[in-house]
Amino acid sequence: MRLKCHHSWYGVLLSINLRIAEMAAVEDAPPPRLVSGGRYVEMTWSDTRIVKFMKAQTVRLGLPILSRKWDIVDDSYESRTEWGRRKAVLVREMLSSGMKGKDVAAELGVSQAYVSEVKHRKGSH
């Protein structure tokens, strides 16, 4: 989803983006960017978590939509990033409960190398 307007709207778009990212629990949403020599500001939401959140809220609130646009968004789609984050949480939980890495890998259907990577990843403790 992309929104483009006059550069004077930069602060507004930044605030909107920060609020949507917070509500969708996305920590690393990119900020709006200046385009066309700084005359315009463009905000692009491409993170599937944000787009799915925006669609869910639109449906929940009963807002009018362009079906041909929103029907493209698959609510059940899980990106590789989402899959990785979900599996990493499960790996950490299982390891902290005392399971061995080999058993965690077998139960989740991932490699032992992946379990080891998640275990030693910075910020995972």
pLDDT, tens digit (0-9, with 9 covering 90-100), for 9-44? 999 999 999 999 999 988 888 889 889 888 999 998
The token duo for 78 is 């899980």
pLDDT, tens digit (0-9, with 9 covering 90-100), for 81-101? 788 888 888 898 898 898 888
Residues 12, 17, 22, 26: what is their CA dihedral angle, to the nearest 10 degrees? -160
> Residue 7: which pLDDT band, with cuts at 50, 70 and 90?
very high
Query: Is the pLDDT at 103 greater than 80, yes or no?
Result: yes
What's the DSSP call for residue 117? H
Give the number of C-alpha atoms closer than 13 A to the C-alpha of residue 62, restricted to the C-beta side: 0
Task: Note the pLDDT of residue 49.
Answer: 86
Which has the higher per-residue pLDDT, 68 or 8? 8
24: helix, strand or coil: coil
**pTM for this entry:** 0.61
Strand 33-35 relative to strand 40-44, pairing: antiparallel
